[in-house]
Amino acid sequence: MVYKKTDSKTKRKIRVRAKVSGTSDCPRLSIYRSNKYLYAQIINDLDGKTLVAANTLKEAKAHNKAAAAVLGKVIAEKALASKIAKVVFDRGCNRYHGVISEIADNARKAGLKF
C-alpha cells in the first residue's frame, strides 16, 4: 500500500497532539508553517483561548532560518511579558528540524522553558 504525503503528515499531527495539551499553568506553543510564512501561538486548551501570537508576515524572506530565529525570540518576549514562563511545544505535523528547531532554540535562548 502506498501512502500519500498528506497521510503521513496527518498521522504525525494526530500522534503529537495526543501527547500535548496546554493548561493555564503550562500552555501550548503551537507552530504552523505555510508555504510562505511561519506562525506561532501560545494557547490555553482548557479555555480554548490564544494567549500570545506572532508571525513572520512582515519579514522580507519570511520562510527561512533567520526569520524563524526572529519569530522564536519575539514569541518568547511576548510570552514573558504576559507572565508565561513555561510552555509545552507542539510542532504539529512538522518534523523537528530546520525552521521548527530554530524557533524552539531561539525561544529557549530568550528565556522560555519547555
What pairing do the DSSP bridges indicate for beta strands 38-44 and 28-33? Answer: antiparallel
What was the pLDDT predicted at 11? 83
Cβ contacts of 55 within 8 Å, gap of 6 or more: 37, 38, 39, 40, 71
CA pair distance 28, 22, nearest whole angstrom:
4
The architecture that CATH gives domain 21-109 is: 2-Layer Sandwich (3.30)
What's the pLDDT tens digit per position in 35-79?
A: 889 999 999 988 999 999 999 998 766 778 999 999 999 999 999
More confident residue, 13 or 90: 90
pLDDT band of 12, cuts 50, 70, 90: confident
Residue with cell 518568547: 76
pLDDT band of 5, cuts 50, 70, 90: low
What was the pLDDT predicted at 8? 81
Domain range annotation of the chain: 21-109
What's the pLDDT tens digit per position in 92-105?
A: 888 899 999 999 99
CA pair distance 29, 23, nearest whole angstrom:
11
